[in-house]
Chains A and B, each alone.
Chain A
């Protein structure tokens, strides 16, 4: 990608540019190059995980088994989740962090550039190892991404490889998180105090702490699976004095904050984009920061709401129900603040704004169903049905994934100096926004009507909505090829229109990155900026 090659004429800092050829990408320590690598890798994995989802939706198009065996179907649901979580959404946000955090805080690069390179390649290794399990004897893991024992211990040759790939992905995430924390704490421009940082930087700072706290927990849990299987321990084996539910507690102590790892940076990007197109400062900046911190804190003390049906004591059920309900308060504050930011603004609706508004609306729908399932007695009905599948996909696809698209359209002109094709981008938005609802909304009905999740075939009364959902899935999936085309087209020159330094009207009031030339030079902020935008004060 030639987009990030040096543009020396804009930069008074004349040192070396990038390496030539392929080696540039392998040994690079430049935050922009590494950000690009992360984003391209995430985009590729988005398509890989998406194809797995289409295998699932193709099999579920009609009742009866038409295409795959039940075992392979289970492998697909498992691998789809693992690839999307660890290969697509998380790396994409790390890509944004690499590109944007130094630009937003006025730093020349990330604090630990070599570790930055290592954490990217470790991610690639981890995902390749995971993908290789598809070709192993007994097939890829098929126990769901939660890897619950005792079922997961029935996995064939793939089990140790899947576990080691989790270890690698964990190390990669922890290194990335350390890097982000070190950068934010040590490399901000002199005048940028913590409470003047852009919200994207804030949300990533908090996310990085979450990652450091949870990834070792997950690594520990899967290591216990490994020793249970190969070294005769009985952590999760009742016959040996262990407890299968213990694994679930450990997993969800990781797993619940993990879902906030995917949503907090989403909040950050939305809080960055909405003010620019509303031409108004973000409403309630400090309450946004506190709400993010509150959500992060609560995420550690609500894990067992994923396990209401395992038979916890009443006190446990009630505690986890109340604690979970509390999350609605800071999340509500965020949604109200975004609405208030739009209120009496002077709004325009370029593609990044469209995706952001769709995010606010559809994430709120996911939040509503989240509140419903927080109530333990009704979760006894919702649990492990398609209602849950609809809920978490609403909080991930039209939320995290839409915001990734929004961020892509928002920053790509800045990074490449080229404008994307607005007409095509709007087409991409409308196709995605309509089809994502055709895909996931009927799944609410299916779940309430009694369809369990993770089943390859279903009773005939579920046939109609499954068909609608599958049609939506294929429209949504193929619409993303349009995104791929738009991104490549933009990188190669886009509409040919020369974008200004601030790209979006008055964007320079909202962030340091818009004070830099477009495209952004290979090296930026060799000396820290004197002034910082003060729009949100």
Chain B
């Protein structure tokens, strides 16, 4: 009788499968690293072991349910003990478990071996974005949900997620890595615990404030691989995707040169004098990407949790006090001092004071922000909510 219902649900699922989208998967993905393939192999092994045990046990049970029923006039026997079978069905599972533990231990040890890595990338989890720092080449940037997804995911946005390419799995600036290179990852977090997971790499790792975790990968195939944060990290936990682009080594080398050029350009931009209009125009975009998820697109905030920006005494008051708060954070407000470059920081500060219903009229230059940022110690822990 249970079979009927299992069949019914299987049928339903088979129907669902027919209408499913092309990239739909029912099973774990095999991935693009030797580790992910080992993990997949182990997954399939234990899955088939379970299927086999299930067939034996449920087979016996359904045989009994069908044949040993009162309505067929079956008379109950009275046996209720047998040390022999008890020993048998303790030993058989024990043997199966040992046979599973051996390959599992092997894969485990392989995953742990971060020796001889060719490059190191430090990943820092923030509420709600990722920071990537290439320790060998000095490239450092933040990666957050792309604008199209971010607009569509607002409550009752009216935008159909199906029209957004890679909805919730696209970022403004992806992590770029070379293929066939052993890359060591270091993980930490700036505020709460996050977890960095790209299924195609075969593992996930928690990023924990104050601690450093390690893992490694070596991607075998060029391509774009997507993942998400997998440790609940607050309201936008579902909106901090990961995109990894694995490139041929030559392409990667070109990308590194380009990035280094951008670092120089950025530094130059920070030295320039900006007009207020340019700062406000740039600041509006920075606000949408970094501030709007809490303080709302119109600056109205959320009563009780996130203060309004429009007509806020802090924002319309002394500019230094506002900059100080944005640099160092407070309670749930992240410290943006390390998250935004001087130009973005100055732009959003200026935008907030002259937009969203505020009209203070002043502005701040990136160069001023730059010297303030230089004074911040390298790692700041948000240790108090007072």
Contacts and interface: CB of A to CB of B under 8 A. Distances in A.
B195 to A, nearest CB: 6
A360 B168 CA distance: 39
A361 B155 contact: no
Most interface-central of A153, A234, A309, A445 (chain B CB within 10 A): A309
A536 B80 contact: yes
Interface string B134-158: 0000000000000000001111110
A23 interface: no
Interface in B77-115: 77-82, 85-86, 89-90, 93-94, 97, 100-101, 104-105, 107-109, 111-112
Given A142-B235, A372-B50, A464-B24, A459 B108 contact: no
B112 A336 contact: no
Interface in B1-39: 1-2, 5-6, 8-9, 12-13, 16, 19-21, 23-29, 38-39
B231 to A, nearest CB: 6
Contact of A278 (B76, B93, B197, B228): B76
Nearest to A535: B80
Interface string A41-72: 00000000000000000000001111011110
Contacts of B231: 384
Contacts of A349: 1, 69
B168 A459 contact: yes
Interface string B367-386: 00000000000000111110
A284 interface: yes
A138 B5 contact: no
A375 interface: yes
Interface string A143-154: 110001011011
A interface majority secondary structure: helix
Contact of A459 (B167, B230, B232): B167
Contacts of B160: 64
A381 B199 contact: yes
Nearest to A62: B161
Interface string A67-87: 011110010000000000000
Contact of A368 (B53, B101, B195): B53
A11 interface: no
A358 interface: yes
Contacts of A368: 50, 53-54
Contacts of A229: 385
Interface stretch (A104-112, A123-131, A296-304, A318-326): A318-326
A227 interface: no
Interface stretch (A251-259, A327-335, A417-425, A519-527): A327-335
Chain A to chain B: the 6 pairs with minimum beta-carbon distance, closest first: A238-B210, A455-B238, A239-B381, A311-B213, A380-B203, A346-B76
Interface residues of B, number: 117
Interface string A261-296: 000000000000000001111111101000000000
Interface string A453-469: 11111111101110010
Interface in A424-461: 430, 433-434, 437-438, 441-442, 445, 448-450, 452-461
B68 A345 contact: yes
21 contacts: A64-B161, A66-B155, A66-B156, A150-B191, A237-B210, A239-B209, A244-B210, A311-B211, A333-B90, A336-B85, A344-B77, A372-B43, A377-B111, A377-B203, A378-B42, A380-B39, A434-B9, A456-B238, A464-B20, A465-B16, A468-B13
Contacts of A377: 38-39, 42, 104, 107-108, 111, 203
A139 interface: yes
Given A238-B211, A380-B204, 9 more contacts: A282-B80, A317-B108, A328-B97, A336-B85, A342-B65, A344-B68, A377-B203, A381-B28, A468-B12
Contact of B104 (A71, A232, A345, A376): A376
Contact of A65 (B90, B154, B232): B154
A245 B104 contact: no
Contacts of B90: 329, 332-333
A484 to B, nearest CB: 23
Given A333-B89, A378-B42, A461 B229 contact: no
Given A148-B193, A371-B46, A244 B208 contact: yes
Interface in A344-379: 344-349, 354, 357-358, 360-361, 364-365, 368, 371-372, 375-378
Contacts of B94: 329
B253 interface: no
Most interface-central of A279, A339, A349, A454 (chain B CB within 10 A): A339
A142 B104 CA distance: 35
Contacts of A283: 79-81
A385 interface: yes
